[in-house]
């Protein structure tokens, strides 16, 4: 028998290597299982645990006829678990990039980054999710799954969509990328729309599949309620078409149109330009997200004249036959001589009727002086100036209406013609609505009701009267005077709506540039209602800085847009024309070019 002689040193070396190897292995096991046991147990447990948020579906927003204005669609956020990526799947990266419409380097980076370096101080933390694309539709996601790339999967979520694009954008507002309600109805009614998220706790196996038998708790999500608006899509289209036409004709810095129901205060249409598409809100300047109807102020001009006129008539301080000398440049008030504003045109001694129908600045200033500073201020407040309309949305301002103690020597003669104060288009609109609604100021409302998936009403918002401002008789008298101005031969003839009686008032104010009134930049407005004898709708048009040769009077620039909007809306609503005003159609004077 042959013996194999082994060197003693070699034998000892082999034994030492074997013992050392086992010692290292045992040491490593001791480090993992004993010394650092808790940390790695947490990592292993975290990899097995599955905590999943179950998103709630945000409620829809519909118009008064049920047309969808905002809807929530199911989408998929596609990502990758870098720990599960296989080398043999890397050739499929170009296909995945084409399907998702992203750069391939972004996918390669996501596949390769397996550890989160920002957490290294707290220990090793493997990356288990890298987002590749969000908002992916179901068909695209099916194509992604067909590639069978291990570790690439999606989480289903919801995405807000606005089917009509920019239509009623400022009223609706939008949801940002983080799912937060930013503005408009989305923010104002967020409590009802967002619903309540659910969640689920369970465990998953090595392939990241849920093991339902280890599901410990599940709370179902409660979807949000739906909102029905007072807005009518058809009327909103009319409003926004006319805004586009205003921009084409006059290139203003901004424009606003409001249409409401006279008796309820319900807003039927509201639009501003510049506007934006809520689906792509990030593509425009933040300034364009602003709802100018309640955030921007201007001096209302002659449309404010209805306030001192109504107040003085309501207090029985004047009657419609009282005469005022509008040829003089001064008047006495509280024992001092006050300069009167200039008139457009020349007037001598005229009645209160003519002061309103001819829009005399000097005449209305003298009416206000009879009324007195304190009562003028109080009635201005009663008409809604100097306070929020309670439209409800973030960003609404109060406007400017100084208390009497802060007035200067000219305020009593300048405020009656709509200077020395500032108001939002919404305030001007609802102040005129007082005359249309028999002397009662209504609260603006954009939401009609809240309802659930079955259509059951959860909450209903009925018309809300804020207060009585003037008597019904006073409102009727002033309305009749405003109707005389909107005649084929009146100063507001461009606001005529053929076949209907219209009561309205134009407003023209010079903009303040560098602390002084500009002679070339104006804010033009027209606000009115119809049919005057039984008002159905109130319409306001405000155009900021229109490009116009000469003075951009509201009766010239804004009145035609008012006429076009009003005519289309009353026809859409089926309001029958009045036989007495059919002669407007056959008027032989200036043609109704603005209606074309």
pLDDT tens digits for range 539-567: 999 999 999 988 899 999 999 999 999 99
Higher-confidence residue of 124 and 219: namely: 219
Q: Same domain for 220 and 240?
A: no
pLDDT, residue 551, reads 87
Interval 289-306: pLDDT, tens? 999 999 999 999 999 999
What percent of the chain stands above pLDDT 70? Answer: 88
Q: Same domain for 310 and 209?
A: no
Taking residues 56-79, what's their average pLDDT? 92
588 pLDDT band, cuts 50/70/90, is very low
Taking residues 356-379, what's their average pLDDT? 95
**Looking at the domain assignment, is residue 90 inside a domain?**
no
pLDDT of 246 above 70: yes
d(CA 545, CA 230): 30
pLDDT, residue 13, reads 83
pLDDT, residue 582, reads 58
**Looking at the domain assignment, is residue 142 inside a domain?**
no
395 pLDDT band, cuts 50/70/90, is confident
Q: Same domain for 225 and 239?
A: no
pLDDT, residue 383, reads 98
pLDDT, residue 324, reads 94
- The domain boundary residue, chosen from 229, 252, 280: 229
pLDDT, residue 587, reads 44
153 pLDDT band, cuts 50/70/90, is confident
Q: In this structure, what are the phi and psi dihedrals at residue 373, rounded to the nearest 5 degrees?
A: -60, -50
Domain residues for the domain of 196 are: 40-74+157-229
pLDDT of 403 above 60: yes
pLDDT of 421 above 90: yes
pLDDT of 523 above 50: yes
Q: Which stretch, 89-103, 171-185, 253-267, has highest mean pLDDT?
A: 253-267
**Looking at the domain assignment, is residue 137 inside a domain?**
no
Contacts of 312 (CB under 8 A, 6+ apart): 318, 367, 368, 370, 371
pLDDT, residue 209, reads 53
Lowest mean pLDDT among 89-93, 170-174, 201-205, 335-339: 201-205
**Looking at the domain assignment, is residue 148 inside a domain?**
no
pLDDT, residue 47, reads 59
pLDDT, residue 512, reads 81
pLDDT of 213 above 50: no
Q: Please tell me the total number of residues recorded for the chain in this structure.
A: 596
pLDDT, residue 210, reads 52
Q: Same domain for 429 and 286?
A: yes
Q: Same domain for 217 and 243?
A: no
pLDDT of 327 above 60: yes
| Number of structural domains found in the chain | 2
pLDDT of 114 above 80: no
- The domain boundary residue, chosen from 204, 229, 254: 229
**Looking at the domain assignment, is residue 32 inside a domain?**
no
Contact 564, 594 (CB under 8 A): yes
151 pLDDT band, cuts 50/70/90, is confident
Contact 384, 431 (CB under 8 A): yes
Lowest mean pLDDT among 140-144, 205-209, 232-236: 205-209
pLDDT, residue 34, reads 74
**Looking at the domain assignment, is residue 317 inside a domain?**
yes
Q: Which stretch, 143-147, 210-214, 382-386, 395-399, has highest mean pLDDT?
A: 382-386
Higher-confidence residue of 202 and 571: namely: 571
Taking residues 178-202, what's their average pLDDT? 87
pLDDT, residue 579, reads 66
**Looking at the domain assignment, is residue 31 inside a domain?**
no
Alpha-carbon distances of 352 from 325, 362, 402, 505, rounded to whole Å? 11, 11, 27, 16
DSSP state at residue 60: P
- The domain boundary residue, chosen from 176, 201, 229: 229
Q: Same domain for 348 and 215?
A: no
DSSP state at residue 175: B
Taking residues 436-452, what's their average pLDDT? 96
Q: Same domain for 225 and 237?
A: no
Q: Same domain for 591 and 467?
A: yes
pLDDT of 3 above 60: no
Residue 181: which CATH number? 3.90.1310.10
**Looking at the domain assignment, is residue 314 inside a domain?**
yes
pLDDT of 121 above 90: no
Taking residues 199-221, what's their average pLDDT? 60
User: Strand, helix or coil at 322?
Assistant: coil
Taking residues 375-394, what's their average pLDDT? 93
d(CA 564, CA 432): 19
d(CA 38, CA 20): 27
208 pLDDT band, cuts 50/70/90, is low
Q: Same domain for 217 and 251?
A: no
Lowest mean pLDDT among 62-76, 199-213, 288-302: 199-213
Q: Among candidates 200, 201, 195, 203, which has minimal Cα distance to 179? A: 195
Q: Same domain for 223 and 323?
A: no
Residue 364: which CATH number? 3.40.710.10
User: Strand, helix or coil at 592?
Assistant: coil
Q: Which stretch, 101-115, 392-406, 437-451, 500-514, has highest mean pLDDT?
A: 437-451
Q: Same domain for 223 and 314?
A: no
Q: Same domain for 333 and 453?
A: yes
Taking residues 563-583, what's their average pLDDT? 87
pLDDT of 586 above 60: no
pTM above threshold 0.95: no
Other residues' Cβ atoms within 10 Å of the Cβ of residue 212: 8
What HEC string does 409-461 produce? CCHHHHHHHCCCCEECHHHHHHHHHHHHCCCEEECCECEEEEECCCCCEEEEC
What percent of the chain stands above pLDDT 90? Answer: 62
Alpha-carbon distances of 155 from 52, 53, 133, 398, 509, rounded to whole Å? 10, 10, 11, 45, 56
């Amino acid at each position: 028998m042959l013996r194999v002689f082994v060197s003693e040193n070699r034998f000892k070396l082999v034994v030492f290597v074997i013992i050392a190897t086992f010692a290292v292995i045992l040491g490593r096991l001791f480090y993992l299982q004993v010394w650092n046991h808790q940390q790695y147990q947490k990592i292993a447990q975290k990899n097995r645990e599955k905590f999943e948020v179950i998103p709630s579906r945000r409620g829809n927003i519909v118009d008064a006829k049920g047309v969808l204005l905002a809807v929530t669609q199911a989408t998929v956020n596609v990502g990758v678990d870098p720990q599960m990526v296989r080398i043999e799947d890397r050739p499929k990266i170009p296909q995945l990039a084409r399907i998702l419409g992203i750069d391939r380097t972004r996918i390669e980076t996501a596949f390769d980054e397996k550890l989160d370096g920002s957490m290294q101080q707290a220990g090793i933390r493997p990356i288990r999710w890298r987002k590749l694309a969000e908002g992916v539709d179901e068909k695209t996601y099916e194509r992604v799954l067909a590639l069978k790339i291990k570790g690439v999967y999606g989480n289903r979520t919801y995405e807000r969509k606005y089917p009509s694009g920019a239509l009623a954008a400022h009223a609706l507002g939008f949801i940002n990328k983080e799912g937060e309600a930013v503005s408009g109805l989305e923010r104002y009614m967020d409590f009802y729309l967002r619903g309540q998220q659910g969640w689920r706790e369970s465990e998953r196996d090595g392939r990241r599949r849920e093991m339902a038998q280890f599901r410990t708790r599940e709370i179902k999500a409660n979807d949000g309620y739906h909102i029905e608006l007072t807005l009518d899509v058809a009327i909103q289209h009319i409003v926004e078409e006319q805004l586009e036409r205003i921009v084409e004709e006059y290139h203003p810095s901004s424009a606003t149109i409001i249409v409401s129901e006279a008796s309820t205060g319900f807003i039927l249409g509201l639009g501003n330009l510049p506007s934006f598409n809520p689906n792509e809100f990030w593509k425009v300047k933040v300034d364009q997200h602003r709802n100018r109807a309640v955030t921007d102020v201007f001096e209302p001009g002659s449309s404010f004249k209805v306030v001192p006129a109504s107040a003085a008539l309501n207090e029985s301080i004047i009657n419609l036959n009282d005469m005022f000398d509008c040829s003089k440049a001064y008047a006495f008030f509280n024992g001092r001589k006050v300069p009167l504003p200039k008139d457009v045109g020349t007037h001598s001694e005229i009645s209160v009727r003519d002061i309103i129908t001819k829009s005399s600045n000097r005449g209305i200033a003298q009416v206000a002086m009879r009324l007195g500073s304190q009562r003028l201020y109080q009635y201005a407040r009663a008409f809604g100036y100097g306070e929020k309309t309670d439209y409800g949305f973030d960003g609404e301002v109060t406007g400017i209406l100084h208390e009497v103690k802060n007035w200067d020597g000219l305020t009593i003669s300048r405020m009656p013609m709509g200077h020395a104060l500032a108001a939002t288009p919404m305030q001007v609109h609802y102040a005129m609505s007082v005359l249309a609604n028999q002397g009662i100021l209504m609260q603006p409302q954009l939401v009609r009701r809240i309802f659930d998936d079955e259509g059951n009403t959860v909450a209903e918002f009925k018309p809300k009267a804020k207060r009585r401002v003037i008597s019904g008789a006073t409102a009727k008298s002033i309305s009749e005077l405003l109707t005389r101005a909107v005649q084929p031969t009146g100063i507001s003839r461009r606001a005529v709506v053929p076949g209907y009686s219209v009561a309205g008032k134009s407003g023209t104010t010079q903009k303040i540039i560098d602390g002084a009134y500009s002679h070339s930049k104006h804010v033009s407005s027209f606000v009115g209602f119809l049919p005057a004898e039984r008002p159905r709708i109130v319409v306001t048009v405000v155009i900021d800085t229109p490009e116009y040769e000469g003075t951009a009077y509201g009766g010239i620039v804004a009145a035609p847009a008012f006429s076009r909007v009003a005519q289309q809306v009353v026809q859409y609503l089926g309001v029958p024309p009045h036989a007495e005003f059919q002669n407007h159609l056959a008027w032989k004077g200036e043609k109704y070019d603005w209606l074309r």
